[in-house]
């Protein structure tokens, strides 16, 4: 079980407020990303943040915006450590997690008031144990067969420019079944009878050439295909 300390709750409240602002005005959540220096001031330790990232509740990138730029620009972090240019957003799974934090049906959801610069969460629990939301509430990939694009948490993972029937069939089945933890081998019978080897080769191809390495596929000897967030791999 994850112990949500007061510092972690305050950090999540800050991220949730930023996400709600973005949703209210219909902008990309990254436009309201919270810088590490601001988040750190709420009291969480780096270990707390790394845990939230590993569980897919928080996402971070490196900001490369110029001082005079109106639009904020981010790139994937090139080193696995937090720095002054690191910024964070709450993922859909993180939003669900925050909703489960409150006592007696209350949540971390905060009223959006653009005239206030600081909003403190009220009626929050003081450091009890909380379980991570079930898989059904966590972020799931999306396969668009028309655009032949695989996305996860709003980012492109793979885009097929040429047909890849076996990979696309697996992605289509995952999408049709709403991305369960695993699916049975959906590929048609192999002409040479070596279906396990063919499935394993397809799984390896799914992991190659990802634009953003956010998803990891794996097999279990040729009978099933599993998927998981790369942060959890």
- DSSP states along 4-38: --HHHHHHHHHHHHHHHHHHHHT--GGGGPEEHHH
Task: Supply 102's token pair.
Answer: 């409150």
In the predicted model, is pLDDT for residue 105 greater than 50? no
What would the mean pLDDT of 28-45 be, rounded to a whole number?
A: 91
Q: Which of 158-162, 167-171, 173-177, 187-191 has the lowest mean pLDDT?
A: 187-191
pLDDT-wise least confident of 23-32, 47-56, 134-143: 134-143
Answer for the pair 126, 102: CB distance below 8 angstroms, yes or no. no
In this structure, the number of other CB atoms found within 10 A of the CB of residue 56 comes to: 24
| C-alpha count within 13 angstroms, C-beta hemisphere, residue 115 | 0
- 78-86 contacts, C-beta under 8 A, 24 or more apart: 82/36, 82/46, 82/49, 83/36, 84/35, 84/36, 84/37, 85/35, 85/36, 86/35, 86/36, 86/60, 86/61, 86/62
Query: 65 or 159: which carries more pLDDT confidence?
Result: 159
Tell me the mean pLDDT in the region 42-56.
89
- The residue ranges of DSSP E strands in 54-200, in sequence order, are 58-63, 74-75, 86-90, 129-130, 142-144, 149-152, 155-159, 182-184
Higher-pLDDT residue of 85 and 108 is: 85
- Neighbouring residues of 118: CB distance < 8 A, sequence distance ≥ 6: none
- 81: tokens are 């450590």
Q: Given a cut of 90, is residue 137 above it in pLDDT? A: no
Structure tokens at 120: 């403190």
C-alpha dihedral, 94 to 229 to 7 to 116, nearest 10°: -40
Angle subtended at Cα 200 by Cα 194 and Cα 201, rounded to the nearest 5 degrees: 90
Question: What is the radius of gyration, based on Cα positions, of the chain?
Answer: 20
Nearest residue to 61 (alpha-carbon basis) of 96, 29, 13: 29
Q: For the residues 178-199, what does the mean pLDDT come to?
A: 85
Phi first, then psi, for residue 90 (nearest 5°) are -90, 130
The more confidently predicted of residues 116 and 18 is 18
Flag whether pLDDT at 91 surpasses 70.
yes
Q: Write phi, then psi, for 156 (nearest 5 degrees).
A: -70, 130
């Amino acid at each position: 079980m994850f112990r949500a300390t007061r510092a972690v709750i305050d950090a999540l409240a800050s991220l949730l407020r930023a996400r709600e602002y973005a949703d209210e005005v219909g902008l990309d959540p990254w436009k309201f990303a919270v810088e590490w220096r601001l988040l750190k001031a709420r009291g969480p330790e780096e270990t707390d943040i790394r845990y939230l990232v590993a569980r897919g509740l928080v996402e971070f990138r490196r900001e490369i915006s110029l001082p005079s730029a109106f639009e904020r620009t981010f790139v994937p972090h090139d080193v696995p450590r937090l720095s002054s240019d690191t910024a964070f957003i709450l993922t859909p799974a993180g939003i669900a997690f925050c909703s489960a934090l409150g006592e007696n049906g209350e949540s971390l959801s905060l009223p959006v008031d653009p005239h206030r610069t600081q909003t403190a969460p009220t009626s929050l629990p003081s450091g009890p144990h909380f379980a991570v939301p079930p898989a059904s509430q966590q972020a799931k990939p999306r396969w668009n067969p028309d655009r032949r694009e695989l996305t996860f948490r709003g980012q492109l993972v793979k885009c097929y420019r040429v047909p890849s029937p076996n990979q696309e069939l697996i992605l289509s089945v995952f999408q049709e079944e709403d991305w369960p933890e695993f699916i049975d081998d959906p590929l048609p019978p192999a002409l040479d009878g070596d279906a396990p080897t063919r499935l394993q080769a397809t799984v390896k191809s799914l992991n190659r050439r990802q634009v953003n390495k956010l998803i990891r596929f794996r097999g279990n000897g040729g009978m099933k295909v599993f998927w998981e967030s790369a942060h959890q791999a």
